[in-house]
Chain A
Amino acid sequence: GNSVTQMEGPVTLSEEAFLTINCTYTATGYPSLFWYVQYPGEGLQLLLKATKADDKGSNKGFEATYRKETTSFHLEKGSVQVSDSAVYFCALKSGGSYIPTFGRGTSLIVHP
């Protein structure tokens, strides 16, 4: 079956530091890959997505590249801000399946 593995948090960084949150997956076929962000007290919001190999999703300074050869979709940002403090979820969805698979989430804490 499908699965998503994220690095465990919390990840604690100083403002303007470089961020990487690792995500690897196991899936049948050619899934679409997603990163969602959950700010404190809120639901999940789609941050970015990629639907085929080598696609790069980007939004709000965050990027992730769909790497089929390494089955990875790592999230990166060059310079984090305090406002980026949140929980980040990696997810995948295979075509033909209506139930996405989510990782356990990685908490990011950014200090001023």
Chain B
Amino acid sequence: GAGVSQSPSNKVTEKGKDVELRCDPISGHTALYWYRQSLGQGLEFLIYFQGNSAPDKSGLPSDRFSAERTGGSVSTLTIQRTQQEDSAVYLCASSSASGTSGRDTQYFGPGTRLTVL
């Protein structure tokens, strides 16, 4: 079946502009994660959605970052007034279960490479 998809694959924007990144999880997956991967760094957790529950936003680095998930499926990560330090690869992952089992496997999308000039 189809995996996790993300769009756009690349986004170049000017400092101060807003951007929207989209994630389509695997059908039926209730858990959805956003991560940020900066050059040479590991994965930085941003936000977690589980079903209709309130999202865990504890990883969002500033109030310029927000995310929503409509209908328990597609998610959009929005970055307002982008800064150069926002340049990174933004990865989305989904999981079939609640995510609280240690055995749960995450399936990652290919990522969106964001460049802020």
Contacts and interface: CB of A to CB of B under 8 A. Distances in A.
Interface string A96-112: 11111011110000000
A22 interface: no
Contacts of A95: 100-102
Dominant secondary structure at the A interface: loop
Contacts of B100: 95-98
A106 to B, nearest CB: 10
Given A89-B42, A103-B42, A98 B91 contact: no
Interface in A39-62: 41-46, 49, 51
Interface residues of B, number: 28
A43 B111 contact: yes
Interface residues of A, number: 26
A30 interface: yes
Contact of B103 (A32, A43, A105): A32
Interface in A57-111: 89, 93-100, 102-105
Contacts of A34: 105
Contacts of B31: 98
8 closest A-B pairs by beta carbon, nearest first, are A98-B99, A43-B108, A32-B102, A104-B42, A95-B102, A44-B108, A102-B43, A43-B110
12 contacts: A32-B102, A43-B4, A44-B106, A44-B108, A46-B106, A89-B42, A98-B31, A98-B48, A98-B50, A99-B33, A99-B45, A99-B48
